[in-house]
Chains A and B, each alone.
Chain A
């Protein structure tokens, strides 16, 4: 490739020698125009991402506002039943929200401790050889499509749980929570580990020279120093769990209800959107609009959580 540039430059210099000064100016103008065209095209590419955000907000807003012409905001926020697909219709988002919250809580109980412990093991205990084996395996775990996790939740984890607790239904929040937890575990582990690895060696050595054990170094030096990164990995993982769709659609069931009992079948916001999309929905009908109202709630929720993650990262950032 460098040869091409060279050749081009050579051509140009011979051209310049043979032609008069004016042609140099013409060429410069041509280059300016080229520069302008390229820059404009690239600018348009960059605008696509801005337009995507505007598009998401606009689409959700328009249909949600139209939804609230038929359903009062108060009923949406306070009603405890969600039954838009059959009479009597209820539009209480709390029934779906509690499903999402329940799954996310359960997933966090699995993923946050395990993820943090994995990160501590990888960054403080494991030697390079072990790390080179384990990290790619975690990447594979992170790359598995959620539909595969969903299949596994329904066909393996649920039957296993039903051996322990036989009166539990086929569709239950517990199985989905555990598997969503496993799905977000690699994210917690790898982001927390990144934060821990960037803690300077000198801090650790200072503690070791005072006679601290590895555990004490991890607990009292590394984790506090990497706190901002660890917390933001937690929050990002929670946001992923709320937006998770296929595992909960397959394993948690389709019964929206206001409960925090993990043995029951629930429906999350995401699973509801899938359920409606699978059916034949009339464009412009109230069922169609519920997708957008639920989507809006989901979008606002994850957006706020992501903002919190960014804020926490800046707020607790330690500079070395």
Chain B
């Protein structure tokens, strides 16, 4: 190859690198602008009243009280249910069965469920929980729907966590005469717990941000009370934000941005908690 050819290839490479870098920076720049715009639009509306007021026809009096409490209800109830079902499934697949056509079926099924659009879960919830179990448009219907939605994520991350518990720890337990369940409940689960919890928290932060399935299940857009029991009607933060965003007045757009700040802070806190758990308790064997 001639000298000139080499130089051209070198220059092309240099330009390509710049192009690839620009593509990478585009996503980051987008994130920067998005966060900046939301803080600029909404920060001025954040005050104590915003947290204690209900939604209102007047932007200045509107707040996120009902939505925030609704979101907390959803997370607090979805968490244990999804944890139990997800970790149970993972334990069954990893500890209690040999690989067979049946475990393969469950595994493939879970991967497919992870790819189902979230709004389809909403339709399932509407037909099964709201209509079928006659729960009505209650917190509990939303909780069940959300539990099924995040289940695949929790199963997959729990499986990884359980698989990373080294075999010799199980063997040590068996050698001391422990039964299978004793080994699992006192060795496997405690060892895998930090990673399992990290997965659960990340799954729940997905649930907190979901809007569409709860709209279909029938969460309301205008709630002027705090749901007192799991059978009450409810709304959640993303739906409240959606409602404010879809109104034409600029002031409502601004309080939508304030609502988004609250949502993002909640998400950030949960993610930091997940990272903290992972770093503090993660051990390598």
Which among A8, A141, A147 has the greatest number of chain B C-beta atoms within 10 A? A147
Choose the segment among A80-88, A91-99, A151-159, A255-263 that binds chain B (4+ C-beta atoms closer than 8 Å).
Answer: A151-159
Choose the segment among B55-63, B72-80, B116-124 that binds chain A (4+ C-beta atoms closer than 8 Å).
Answer: B116-124
Contacts of B124 in A (CB 8 A): 52, 55-56, 59
Q: Is the CB of A291 within 8 A of B264?
A: no
Q: Is the CB of B253 within 8 A of A42?
A: no
Once A114-B26, A117-B24 are accepted as A-B contacts, the answer to whether A42 and B38 lie under 8 Å apart by CB is: no
Q: Is the CB of B205 within 8 A of A150?
A: no
Q: Which of B24-52 contact A (CB under 8 A)?
A: 24, 26-28, 30-31, 33-34, 37-38, 41
Cβ 8 A contact of B267, one of A145, A152, A216: A145
Task: Answer whether residue A77 sits at the interface, using C-beta atoms and an 8 A cutoff.
Answer: no
Shortest beta-carbon distance, B167 to chain A, in Å? 15
For the side of the interface on B, what is the size category? 35 or more
Q: Which of B76-115 contact A (CB under 8 A)?
A: 84-89, 91-93, 96, 105-106, 109-113, 115
Shortest beta-carbon distance, A171 to chain B, in Å? 11
CB nearest neighbor in A for B248: A170
Choose the segment among A198-206, A220-228, A271-279 that binds chain B (4+ C-beta atoms closer than 8 Å).
Answer: A271-279
Once A52-B151, A214-B17 are accepted as A-B contacts, the answer to whether A246 and B27 lie under 8 Å apart by CB is: no
- Give Cα A50–Cα B103 distance, bound, in whole angstroms: 11
Q: Which of A242-293 contact B (CB under 8 A)?
A: 242-246, 249-250, 270, 273-274, 277-278, 283, 291-292
Q: Is the CB of A295 within 8 A of B120?
A: yes
Q: Is the CB of B260 within 8 A of A117?
A: no
Contacts of A59 in B (CB 8 A): 123-124, 127-128
- Give Cα A147–Cα B212 distance, bound, in whole angstroms: 9
Shortest beta-carbon distance, B154 to chain A, in Å? 11
- Give Cα A148–Cα B253 distance, bound, in whole angstroms: 12
Contacts of B37 in A (CB 8 A): 152, 155-156
- Give Cα A34–Cα B118 distance, bound, in whole angstroms: 38
Main SS at interface, chain A: helix
Contacts of B182 in A (CB 8 A): 5, 8
Q: Is the CB of B92 within 8 A of A302?
A: no
- Give Cα A126–Cα B20 distance, bound, in whole angstroms: 10
CB nearest neighbor in B for A6: B176
- Give Cα A149–Cα B34 distance, bound, in whole angstroms: 8
- Give Cα A4–Cα B106 distance, bound, in whole angstroms: 34
Task: Answer whether residue B54 sits at the interface, using C-beta atoms and an 8 A cutoff.
Answer: no
- Give Cα A270–Cα B215 distance, bound, in whole angstroms: 12
Q: Is the CB of B242 within 8 A of A273?
A: no
CB nearest neighbor in A for B124: A56
- Give Cα A216–Cα B16 distance, bound, in whole angstroms: 10
Q: Is the CB of B176 within 8 A of A185?
A: no
Q: Is the CB of B9 within 8 A of A213?
A: yes
- Give Cα A250–Cα B20 distance, bound, in whole angstroms: 31
Q: Is the CB of B21 within 8 A of A121?
A: yes
Once A49-B89, A274-B215, A277-B215 are accepted as A-B contacts, the answer to whether A122 and B13 lie under 8 Å apart by CB is: no
CB nearest neighbor in A for B17: A125
Contacts of B265 in A (CB 8 A): none
0/1 per residue, A3-26, Cβ < 8 Å to B? Answer: 011101100110000000000000
Q: Which of A150-200 contact B (CB under 8 A)?
A: 150-152, 154-156, 182, 185-186, 189
- Give Cα A43–Cα B93 distance, bound, in whole angstroms: 9
Task: Answer whether residue A31 sits at the interface, using C-beta atoms and an 8 A cutoff.
Answer: yes
Task: Answer whether residue A134 sits at the interface, using C-beta atoms and an 8 A cutoff.
Answer: yes
Q: Is the CB of B91 within 8 A of A42?
A: yes
Q: Which of B117-142 contact A (CB under 8 A)?
A: 117-124, 126-128, 131
**In the A-B complex, the 4 residue pairs with the closest CB atoms:** A243-B117, A145-B209, A45-B88, A117-B23
Give B residues with C-beta under 8 Å from A: 1, 9-10, 12-13, 16-17, 19-21, 23-24, 26-28, 30-31, 33-34, 37-38, 41, 84-89, 91-93, 96, 105-106, 109-113, 115-124, 126-128, 131, 148, 151-152, 155, 172-173, 176-184, 186-187, 190-191, 205-206, 208-212, 215-216, 218, 221, 238, 241-242, 245-246, 253, 256-257, 260, 263-264, 267, 271
**Additional A-B contacts beyond A118-B24, A155-B41, A295-B120 (17; CB < 8 A):** A1-B186, A5-B186, A46-B106, A50-B106, A52-B148, A53-B109, A121-B21, A138-B27, A140-B31, A144-B264, A215-B9, A218-B16, A270-B117, A273-B123, A273-B216, A277-B216, A298-B119
5 CB-based A-B contacts, threshold 8 Å: A1-B187, A34-B179, A151-B38, A151-B245, A243-B117
Give A residues with C-beta under 8 Å from B: 1-2, 4-6, 8-9, 12-13, 31, 34-35, 38-39, 41-46, 48-50, 52-53, 55-56, 59-60, 63, 113-114, 117-118, 120-122, 125-126, 134, 137-138, 140-141, 143-152, 154-156, 182, 185-186, 189, 211, 213-216, 218, 236, 239, 242-246, 249-250, 270, 273-274, 277-278, 283, 291-292, 295, 298-299, 302-303, 306, 310
